[in-house]
Amino acid sequence: MTYFAVVNERGPAWNDSRSRRDQAGWVEHAAYIDALAREGFFLLVGPLSPTRSLLIVEAESEQAARNRLATDPWRKDGTLRLFSIEPWEVLVGNPRLAGSHG
């Protein structure tokens, strides 16, 4: 398994007059995030700025990560869009994240 650093940004359906949790489809998006976190796909998730979020995911490949992320209700309806995805190696940190690299 490989770690990937994923940055999402606001998509065309994002409503600037609403907070993150007041966006259309928040409940479905949050349930999606929670389910994948329980499965171990998401290791860390959180906002980087008012317009971008960082997700650290664990997947077999970049394409596998992309496929999994494409099922997010906010990605499907345009609330979020993928800004970048890059392999990420943990050198120092929590043993779960560091794995054999620690």
pTM of the entire structure? 0.86
DSSP assignment of 73-93: HHHHTTSEEEEEEEEE---SS
Report d(CA 6, CA 36) in Å as an integer. 14
Over residues 64-89, the pLDDT tens digits come to 999 999 999 999 999 999 999 999 98
Q: Considering only CA atoms, which of 80, 55, 42, 41 is closest in space to residue 5?
A: 55
Per-residue pLDDT tens digits of the chain, which is 102 residues long: 899 999 999 999 999 999 999 999 999 999 999 999 999 999 889 999 999 999 999 999 999 999 999 999 999 999 999 999 999 988 877 666 554 433
Q: Domains in the chain, please, with CATH?
A: 2-91 (3.30.70.1060)
